Amino acid sequence: MKLDTILKQGRRILPLLTVLGLVSAAPAYSADGLGAYALKDAKIVRVSGAPIEKGVVVVRDGLIEAVGENVTIPADAWVIDCKGLTVYPGMIDAFSTLGIASAASSGSAAAAGGRRGGAAATPAAAAAAAAAAAEPVARGPEDRPSNESYAKAIDSVSATDSRIESFRNGGFLSAATFPAGKIFNGNGSLINLAGEKPGNMVIADSIGQSIVIVARGFGMSRGYPNSLMGYIAYVRQMYLDAERYKQAQAIYAKNPTGLQRPAYDRTLEGLLASPRMLLPAVRATEIERMVTFAKELKQPVVIYGAHEAYKEADFLKKANVPVIVSLKWPTKTPDGDPTAVEALRTLELRDKAPSSPAALAKAGVKFAFYADGLATPKEVLAAVKKSVDSGLSPADAIRALTLTPAEIYGVSDRLGSIDKGKIANLVIAEGDIFAPATKLKYVFVDGTKFEVPEAPAAGRGFGRGASGPGANDFQGDKQ
Amino acid sequence: MKRFSILLLAASALFAAEAPVLIQNATILTVTKGTVKGSILLQDGKIAAIGEKVMAPAGAKIVDGTGKFIMPGIIDCHSHIATEAVNEGSASVTAMVGIEDTINPDDIGIYRALAGGVTAANVLHGSANAIGGKNQVIKMRWGQNAEGLKFAGAMPGIKFALGENPKRAGSSQGGFGAPATNLRYPATRMGVEDVIREAFNDAKTYKAKWDDYNAKVKAGQVAIPPARDLKLDTLVEVLEGKRLVHAHCYRQDEILMLLHVADDFGFKIQTFQHVLEGYKVAKEIAAHGSGASTFSDWWAYKMEAEDAIPYNAAILVKKGVLTSLNSDDAELMRHLDKEAAKTLKYGGLTETEALSLITINPAKQLKIDDKVGSLEVGKDADLVVFDAHPLSNFSKVEKVFIDGKMYFDRDNDIEERAKKEITKKGLLEKQQQELRRQTPAGRPAQ
């Protein structure tokens, strides 16, 4: 018997065994993830086109083989009756640390590490801070402080990060994941949230340089940069250096004899390998500042945060800059001073932030969402629902969770909608995905079927709280 | 038809601009051209006419100025409002950073300064290091974005700092001392001088490198350009006279030191800031052609600010130093006219001289006196309407115009407060409701 025949038979038996409870391991991925499935009589929200009220999706060998109302079900396909169920494309967290278990405290402490505030929150961070204290303090951009621009998220991804499973069970089947904890954090990678090895999870390995720029800052603390001014000047100098580096390398390559050779610089290599920059901007002023800055640097940019984007929708449209909206809507701090008098501006931002997506949709700005540290997919979808309640159409909401992030990162030719030939990332829900009571039945990642456990244990694997990849202990009050 | 549409276009352009404003029967303190009892016309953002009788153009808004005093918008030559960062104190030379990158148009300090009659300010980097960051001159156009606040055409500048502040990070002793693991040269006044000299030596070397490269390119040789350095670029601008130096200082010895350094490198110190011992070296400051921007009577908050006198501004003026009074502080900024009034008592300056300290003199120091600083036809219509003489303790700001547009109106402000209270109450109630919905029954919502 040929090997692939054995595999094929095994694959057919596997779901059966699962049903019988003979295979009890929760992530029931058949090793190869290949095989044919037919989702029959499903409502199909394709996102790329009008929903199909009753149709078939055929999945084979990790890809979507066919989709439509009148699709012949292949004889070898495992048929799943989806009567009353709705099929969505897998959702994408457009800016996360998913898969990077220790993103916030990972990496060697750069010279400018050991920042004040939350830096010593973990033993690892405390050790890093101590190590940094022993190192010389950065006094300028030439010291390349807090710079791992050459890092690549995928190199730090662990397939066993427990958040991968919890997000997958909630319908998030891909994530743009970024290294964190530095100023220049390196290139993010777009990954699928299932796979035995990180290498199998990658959809795109370098999707953009995540640069953390503090919202505000005053300071006399350790090392350059320690203020917003310094951050901006540092980033500006880096891109200037990168431009000159490229030029110098080119001149030298043509005339190696008789010219002094230019020095190698991995931090500049990292920038040059980045297709775009991701910059944080929550308030309107920050949005304008970061977009203007990116234009000055002549770099394609994606803005993340964007709670006050409702004021900047037209500006963003005109600048043609995509936005990733943080779903951690600003709220009153639960343990804040109950007698504190809050500014009208703070209250307004809190009230209007969830209307930002609707404003962006109306202006025609490309936008996606990110969980920004929300611990469970349920919370994430509840937060999306809040923007739906504030005027965003459900169709635009689902697009912002699927096709738009794929477009932002240049992978919409393989991901983000239910179309023939695309990666078979599918969510099968018992109804409207935004209705709080809706349960998910199955998800498919790369054509591999996962049963969603009846009641995903709350709090499982959400060890890391508040920090998204943009989080930084300098960030402070973003409002 | 064509003519009609052109007419329409012209009409819409008219409506887009601010309507002309004519303030009548007021006492107009022009500062540079005496006092006029009469009218002032603001049109197209500029002062169009000042005189006893000024004809109102069609569509002009007439404001009754009976009993009112009008002065040029106050200019503060030293402020730290409207920025999201003040110090980049990580290094002793941070000429690469700039306030222009961090302007915060949401800072309520802008509106409050406006309510005190300030229409322009020099937003400076702090004094944490010997050579700090670039400054940004702004107009208090409250409601506009960061770019909209910037004073177009103002000459760029940079902050220097001498004395205790820039050396503090070099020593682990004292209240603001640095941790022993992070000491930053210098720790003495000698070191501050050395840092400045070294920085300009570096700038000269850098410039020479570029000159050499440019010469090679001109000669048709293959060459790799030197790396551009944003820090040294800024210092080269200082050497070339394209950037003004505003130097924080207190003591006469450090003032003289910086004058020597500047003379040695061939650049000019545009203003000495604070300069509390300026009265001791006023002649030397005047001889160098520097200005002085000081406080009226604020001192003794640290050792180097002990030997100060309230006559400082008056003595500097009388010794021929271009002098201004500044705030360095969001609160003091709101009553600079009252600060100026103190020079009438201490030193016997005239009313006009006193007003000059907060109008035309800081304008000259910032090289924006061709646009602002006095009430003259053709200058920007930046002015303040007071209900009494601005040098009186009992006067209040009623209206403030910038570019002919009213940015502050006392009556309007009082009216708006009630409306804002209602909006705020509504939002608070909505928030409470939301919290109640999320809180399980029986537990009180916070």
With respect to CATH, is domain B1-72+375-446 assigned 2.30.40.10? yes
CA distances (Å), origin B249, targets A89, A183, B160, B256, B334: 65, 34, 9, 10, 23
pLDDT score of A137: 84
pLDDT at A15 over 70: no
Distance, C-alpha B203 to centroid of its chain: 27
Q: State the span(s) of chain B assigned CATH 3.20.20.140.
A: 74-372
Which residue did the predictor score with more confidence, B12 or B406?
B406
- Asked if A325 and A303 count as a contact pair (C-beta separation under 8 A), the reply is no
Give the number of other CB atoms < 10 A from CB of residue A210: 31
Q: Are B125 and A262 in contact (CB < 8 Å)?
A: no
pLDDT at B227 over 50: yes
pLDDT in tens, B26-71: 999 999 999 999 999 999 999 999 999 999 999 999 999 999 999 9
pLDDT at A110 over 70: no
Q: Comparing C-alpha atoms, which of A36, A85, A41, A87 is closest to residue A63?
A: A36
Which residue did the predictor score with more confidence, A384 or A13?
A384
Q: Judge whether B110 is closer than 8 Å to chain A, CB to CB.
A: no
pLDDT score of B47: 98
pLDDT in tens, B288-313: 999 999 999 999 999 999 999 999 99
pLDDT at A363 over 50: yes
User: What's the average model confidence in pLDDT over A57-70?
Assistant: 97
Q: Are B169 and A338 in contact (CB < 8 Å)?
A: no
pLDDT at B205 over 80: yes
pLDDT in tens, A180-215: 999 999 999 999 999 989 999 999 999 999 999 986
CA angle (A184, A190, A195) in 5-degree steps: 125
Q: State the span(s) of chain B assigned CATH 2.30.40.10.
A: 1-72+375-446
**CA dihedral over B91, B95, B97, B102, signed as positive or negative:** positive
Alpha-carbon span B192 to B185, nearest angstrom: 8
Cβ-nearest to B222 among A215, A251, A289: A251
Cβ-nearest to A220 among B89, B224, B231: B89
pLDDT score of B8: 44
Lowest mean pLDDT among A271-280, B84-93, B267-276, B371-380: B84-93
User: What's the average model confidence in pLDDT over A445-461?
Assistant: 75
pLDDT in tens, A208-263: 999 999 866 544 457 899 899 999 999 999 999 999 999 999 999 999 998 889 99
User: What's the average model confidence in pLDDT over B410-422?
Assistant: 96
Which residues on chain B are in Cβ contact (under 8 Å) with A345?
A: 106
pLDDT score of A104: 38
Q: Judge whether B104 is closer than 8 Å to chain A, CB to CB.
A: yes
Which residues on chain A are in Cβ contact (under 8 Å) with B427?
A: 344, 347-348, 350-351
Distance from CA of A228 to the nearest CA of B (A): 6
Residue B243 DSSP class? S
Buried b (16+ CB within 10 A) or exposed e, A416-443: bbbbeebbbbbbbbeeebbeeeeebebb
Q: Which 165-184 residues of chain B touch chain A by CB within 8 A? A: 169, 176, 178-179, 181-182, 184
Distance from CA of B77 to the nearest CA of A (A): 21
pLDDT at B207 over 70: yes
Q: Are A347 and B424 in contact (CB < 8 Å)?
A: yes
Cβ-nearest to A244 among B225, B424, B430: B225
Torsions phi, psi of A248, nearest 5? -65, -45
Lowest mean pLDDT among A170-184, A188-202, B159-173: B159-173
Distance from CA of B97 to the nearest CA of A (A): 5
Q: Are B228 and A334 in contact (CB < 8 Å)?
A: no
pLDDT score of A470: 56
Burial class (CB in 10 A: 0-12, 13-18, 19+), A118: middle
Amino acid occupying residue B231: K
pLDDT score of A13: 47
Q: Are A228 and B91 in contact (CB < 8 Å)?
A: no
Q: Which residues contact A243 (CB under 8 A, 6 or more apart)?
A: none
Alpha-carbon span A307 to A163, nearest angstrom: 25
Give the number of other CB atoms < 10 A from CB of residue A387: 25
pLDDT score of B169: 86
pLDDT score of A455: 65
pLDDT at A29 over 60: no
Confidence band (pLDDT; 50, 70, 90) for A79? very high
Q: Which residues contact A203 (CB under 8 A, 6 or more apart)?
A: A174, A189, A190, A191, A192, A411, A414, A415, A423
Helix (H, G, I), strand (E, B) or coil at B11: helix
pLDDT at A465 over 60: no
The pLDDT mean for chain B works out to 93
pLDDT at A105 over 50: no
Confidence band (pLDDT; 50, 70, 90) for B2? very low
Q: How far apart are the first and last CA of chain B?
A: 66
Cα dihedral value A231, A236, A238, A239, nearest 10: 140
Confidence band (pLDDT; 50, 70, 90) for A477? very low
pLDDT score of A167: 96
Which residues on chain B are in Cβ contact (under 8 Å) with A221?
A: 89-90, 182
Distance from CA of B318 to the nearest CA of A (A): 38
CATH superfamily of B74-372: Metal-dependent hydrolases (3.20.20.140)
pLDDT score of A17: 42
Helix (H, G, I), strand (E, B) or coil at A435: coil
Lowest mean pLDDT among A206-210, A424-428, A468-472, B167-171: A468-472
Confidence band (pLDDT; 50, 70, 90) for B176? low
- Asked if B213 and B223 count as a contact pair (C-beta separation under 8 A), the reply is yes
Alpha-carbon span B70 to B76, nearest angstrom: 18
Torsions phi, psi of A321, nearest 5? -115, 125
pLDDT score of B175: 53
Lowest mean pLDDT among A289-298, A329-338, A343-352, B325-334: A329-338
User: What's the average model confidence in pLDDT over A353-358?
Assistant: 98
Q: Are B85 and A229 in contact (CB < 8 Å)?
A: yes
* pTM summary value: 0.90
Torsions phi, psi of A40, nearest 5? -100, 145
Q: Which 449-468 residues of chain A touch chain B by CB within 8 A? A: none
Q: Are A351 and B229 in contact (CB < 8 Å)?
A: no
User: What's the average model confidence in pLDDT over B345-357?
Assistant: 98
Q: Are B101 and A228 in contact (CB < 8 Å)?
A: yes
Cα dihedral value B179, B180, B185, B190, nearest 10: 100
Q: Are A230 and B85 in contact (CB < 8 Å)?
A: yes
pLDDT score of A223: 87
pLDDT score of B242: 98
Residue of A nearest to B100 (CA): A229
